[in-house]
Amino acid sequence: MNQRVKIVNTEILSNNWYTLKKVTFDYQHQNGTWIQQSREAYDRGNGATILLYNLAQKTILLTEQFRLPTYINGNATGMLLEACAGLLDLDNPEDCIRRETEEETGYQIKEVKKIFEAYMSPGSVTEILHFFVAEYSPAMKISSGGGVDIHEDITVIELPFSKAVDMVASGEIRDGKTILLIQYLQINYPSLIK
């Protein structure tokens, strides 16, 4: 535990979709002075994301779906191109991402490679996101994907990897986790571009 932090009070502001807490705490600055602060933190659990790639075809699989927060913050259609992702719920990260991959993309993958973990918005969201990559082939496709929840309306999109790299540069791909995964492949699998 950090000796420079003392939690004074935690208040639940909302427990509707996930949990929004207001935390009041004392924090000791580097110069030794203590100051009391309040911050809100959104706890939606931890998640996992994966980018599927095909070395032979030089393609990747992305999903597209409506994302309300982007819509109310300037994304005219609210539609967002993303790497497949989901919340862990009670699963470990590898089981979660295999399940989400099958549900969202329709591909049943066996081998996944975990590449790192990251806090994606540490100023306000508690989530740790586990990042994976995996190779896919047409033989792994077992359904059309699209999600299993009644509220999911996911489109699966296969793109040439070089086009996806260009779409990051042009701003057509704006999702942070997806950009990180594309850049990881760009660095570690340069044959996808050639």
CATH number at residue 163: 3.90.79.10
Same domain, 52 and 39: no
d(CA 92, CA 2): 27
Report the pLDDT value the prediction gives residue 102, as an integer from 0 to 100.
Answer: 94
pTM: 0.92
pLDDT band (50, 70, 90) for residue 150: low
Any idea what DSSP says for residue 138? G
Same domain, 20 and 109: no
d(CA 180, CA 187): 11
The parent domain of residue 23 ranges over 5-43
pLDDT digits (tens, 9 = 90+) for 110-138: 899 999 999 999 999 999 999 999 999 99
φ and ψ of 162, to 5 deg = -60, -35
Q: How many CB atoms lie within 10 A of CB 157?
A: 14
For range 93-111, the mean pLDDT: 94
What type of residue is 137? S
pLDDT digits (tens, 9 = 90+) for 35-85: 999 999 999 999 999 999 999 999 999 999 999 999 999 999 999 999 999
The dihedral through the CA atoms of 57, 60, 61, 62 has a sign that is negative
